[in-house]
Structure formats: C-alpha cells, structure tokens
Amino acid sequence: MARYFDVHPVDPQRRSISQVVDLVRGGGLIAYPTDSCFALGCGLGNREGLARIREIRHLDDRHHFTLVCSDFAQLGQFVKVDNAVFRLIKASTPGSYTFILPATKEVPRQLLHPKKKTVGVRIPDHVVAQALLTELGEPMLSSTLLLPAHDEPLTQGWEIKEELDNAVDAVIDSGDCGTEPTTVIDLSGDTPEIVRRGAGDPSRFE
C-alpha cells in the first residue's frame, strides 16, 4: 500500500520531503507533482524502479526516460552540451521542457536510448519537485504518469493513490499541477527537433 503525503505547494514540510527522499534512496518508486503534470520517479540506479515504471506504463526499450535535475550544474554532469545548446537550455529552464541530448558516462546504460545513446533531461519549475531533488542531491529517474488506459495524465493525488496503491510506494499530493506533459525537444542533432508539443512554448526552438 502506497504512503500518502499531503505536502504544502508553497512551503513544503521538511519532514515529509525527508521521508519521501528516504523512500527513494531505499529503492522506492514515487508519484510526485511537477510543473507540467504528475510523474513517476525513482533513484538513478534503481533497476527495479525502472522495470516497475515500464510495467505501469507499458513502455518498450525505445522509450526515452528523463533525468529530472535540480539545476543546470547537475544537468551538465549527465549530458553533453555545446555552447549553442547551452544558451537554448539556459533560456528555457527551469520550465516545462524535456531535452534529449547525448549522454555522458555518468548515465546508467539501461537508461539510454539503445541506438542513439541519448537521454532526456529536464529542470522543473515546481516548488515540491525542487524540494525533493535538493534533498536527494542527485537527479531522479522519471516518466510522465500517463497510464495505458487513459488519454490524459492523472491530476489528483487521491486518484493516483486509488489507481496505483499497490504499484508505487508513495504518492505526493500538493494540489493540481495540470494535465499537459512537457514539450520535448531533441537537441542531439544539428538542429532542434520538436518531438512533442506540450506545456512549454516551443516557438524558440522552431
């Protein structure tokens, strides 16, 4: 049964954040809010957590997982970024964007796209997500909480608890965080490619 944490959206309770992070460090899988919609998240090297996300969402091995980072310095440890890409990302973060970039050796192999050796990264503009990442001290492996039988991501914490009570270890609820996933931009090639139009304004990449 998943633990349920009701967390203040502006001033997250330190005790609750610490308890959730302890679960993540212990190999747990959580459902947590971001600036676009809820996400599933676990520790970076958590192979079981990765398998559980694949099972919950019915994903194949070509799916791009996302490393959710607290800031640009952290993001830069896991992806290769040249000057032009640096400026584009810097101008767009924190925000509702996921960037696909060539991965560094810091990224576990099982997270890489099998052919491209790329990974998705993002920096959320959400107080609770940032509190979790700051306390954790490293990126969280994440995927949008979009279930196979649903057209849109779930938006209510109680609804997620009801639906995934036996599939995740914790649900963090800090109020409605919208239904639109991030805008996904592939920056691994010569020119930016908009893979998915979502919550972030894609016009600066066109």
pLDDT tens digits for range 153-175:
888 899 999 999 999 999 999 98
CATH number, residue 191: 3.90.870.10
- For residue 153, CA distances in Å to 51, 181, 193 come to 20, 8, 24
pTM comes to 0.94
Please, what is the angle between helix 127-136 and helix 14-25, to 10°?
50
- For residue 192, CA distances in Å to 12, 110, 139, 186, 206 come to 36, 25, 24, 6, 7
pLDDT tens digits for range 96-110:
999 999 999 999 888
Please tell me what DSSP assigns to residue 144.
Answer: E
Sequence-ordered list of residues with C-beta below 8 angstroms from that of 86, at least 6 positions apart, any chain: none
Domain of residue 165: give its range: 3-205
Give the number of domains in the chain: 1
Q: Is 119 helix (H, G, I), strand (E, B) or coil?
A: strand
